[in-house]
């Protein structure tokens, strides 16, 4: 049995952290679904930047947008929605079979809106309406400005993938925003079943402290942070407040492990896959990591519900002068800036393609 099937049988959803038109047209994504237990998909500006820059598959659609006088941003969202609605349709049988637990795809609002609550909410509503697919999650960053938009989007019935979370406190804030939106729906007499995942980024922790901590702590920070957040999630999901909303039909917000490709060349390519195996969670994997998992036949144990030795490990990092709270803030800020940089580069790629097409015409 493939390791991907073993992970699926354990109760963790495997999502692909990639989308390209070639993945769709070649049948590769369909094969991943049928053969590798892939049950969902995530995207972000960096992924689309690489996809559009490295392929001519989008050129015809860009040419149409150019002829219609659309801006680079408008053309991008046309391209992204075309890809993601096709992907959503491929995952729709899974969504239907699991009663909406799984089978999701994700589309991110413009990262330029990360610190603009009102514009983020408006964009989330518009994109979800345009997609017209029940299994499309809109990604909103879990920044302080993003949290009110998350609550309002959930209250409005828009399924949300809360992105750019880096620590337990970020996760708890995102979960609180989700829950407030659900409780408001219940108070208003609305259906409380609105899908959501909370995406915690893992590998960037280790990449950031690499070379600044003792060898004995190498590649251990991200996993310790994940275990701390997982313990908090388990406690939260079993709390009386959350159980009250389940009792009237709400669905739990699942914890999603993001940035799970190993960046350390000396570490196992499955470091974060094996360490983060846990039921009722999602692991969204880069394509290379997914294929590496297929080649490995064993997984090991599952994450401890009590956080294991995470606090002991984090104390060791504190002794090595790593301020986890300050670093979490920095990583979230850098993550937002990174997506903005990719977004700007993406806009430049589309603009340059448009300019080249105009010259030919």
Active site residues: 139
Annotated domain spans of the chain: 3-354
Please tell me the predicted confidence (pLDDT) of residue 55. Answer: 86
pLDDT tens per residue, range 188-228: 999 999 999 999 999 999 999 998 999 899 999 999 999 99
The CATH code of domain 3-354 reads 3.20.20.70
For the entire predicted model, the pTM comes to 0.96
Burial bucket for residue 203 (CB in 10 Å: 0-12, 13-18, 19+): buried
Q: Which residues are bridge partners to 204 per DSSP? A: none
| Residues 6 or more apart whose Cβ sits within 8 Å of residue 42 | 15, 16, 17, 105, 106, 139, 161, 199, 258, 284
pLDDT tens per residue, range 305-314: 999 999 999 9
pLDDT tens per residue, range 63-86: 999 999 999 999 999 999 999 999
Instruction: Give the rounded percent of residues in the chain with a pLDDT score beyond 70.
Output: 99
Please tell me the predicted confidence (pLDDT) of residue 122. Answer: 95
Burial bucket for residue 228 (CB in 10 Å: 0-12, 13-18, 19+): buried
* Average pLDDT over every residue of 258-273: 92
Please tell me the predicted confidence (pLDDT) of residue 297. Answer: 66
Q: Is residue 137 within 8 Å of residue 104, measured between CB atoms?
A: yes
Question: What's the rounded Cα separation, in Å, for the pair 143 and 329?
Answer: 10
Range in 87-96, 151-160, 352-361 with the lowest mean pLDDT = 352-361
φ, ψ dihedrals at 178, nearest 5°? -60, -50
Please tell me the predicted confidence (pLDDT) of residue 107. Answer: 97
């Amino acid at each position: 049995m493939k390791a991907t099937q073993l992970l699926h049988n354990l109760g963790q959803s495997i999502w692909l952290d990639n989308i390209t038109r070639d993945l769709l047209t070649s049948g590769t994504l369909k094969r991943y679904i049928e053969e590798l237990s892939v049950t969902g998909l995530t995207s972000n500006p960096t992924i689309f930047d690489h996809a559009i820059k490295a392929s001519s598959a989008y050129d015809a659609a860009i040419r149409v947008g150019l002829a219609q006088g659309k801006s680079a941003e408008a053309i991008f969202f046309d391209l992204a929605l075309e890809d993601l609605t096709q992907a959503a349709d491929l995952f729709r049988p899974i969504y239907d079979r699991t009663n909406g637990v799984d089978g999701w795809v994700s589309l991110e609002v413009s990262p330029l809106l990360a610190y603009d609550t009102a514009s983020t909410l408006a964009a989330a509503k518009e994109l979800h309406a345009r997609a017209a697919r029940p299994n499309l999650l809109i990604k909103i960053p879990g920044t302080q400005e993003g949290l009110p938009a998350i609550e309002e989007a959930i209250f409005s019935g828009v399924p949300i993938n809360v992105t750019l979370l880096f620590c337990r406190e970020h996760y708890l804030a995102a979960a609180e925003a989700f829950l407030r939106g659900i409780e408001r729906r219940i108070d208003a007499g609305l259906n409380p079943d609105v899908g959501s995942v909370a995406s915690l980024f893992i590998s960037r922790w280790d990449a950031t402290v690499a070379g600044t901590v003792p060898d004995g702590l190498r590649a251990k920070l991200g996993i310790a942070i994940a275990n701390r957040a997982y313990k908090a999630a388990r406690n939260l999901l079993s709390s009386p407040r959350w159980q009250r909303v389940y009792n009237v039909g709400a669905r739990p917000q699942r914890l999603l492990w993001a940035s799970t490709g190993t960046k350390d060349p000396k570490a196992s390519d499955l470091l974060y896959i094996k360490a983060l195996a846990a039921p009722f969670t999602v692991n969204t994997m880069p394509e290379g990591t997914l294929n590496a998992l297929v080649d490995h036949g064993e997984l090991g144990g599952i994450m401890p519900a009590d956080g294991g030795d995470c606090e002991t490990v984090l104390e060791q990092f504190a002794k090595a002068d790593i301020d986890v709270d300050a670093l979490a803030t920095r990583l979230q800020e850098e993550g937002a800036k990174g997506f903005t940089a990719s977004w700007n580069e993406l806009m430049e790629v589309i603009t340059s393609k448009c300019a080249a097409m105009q010259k030919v015409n």
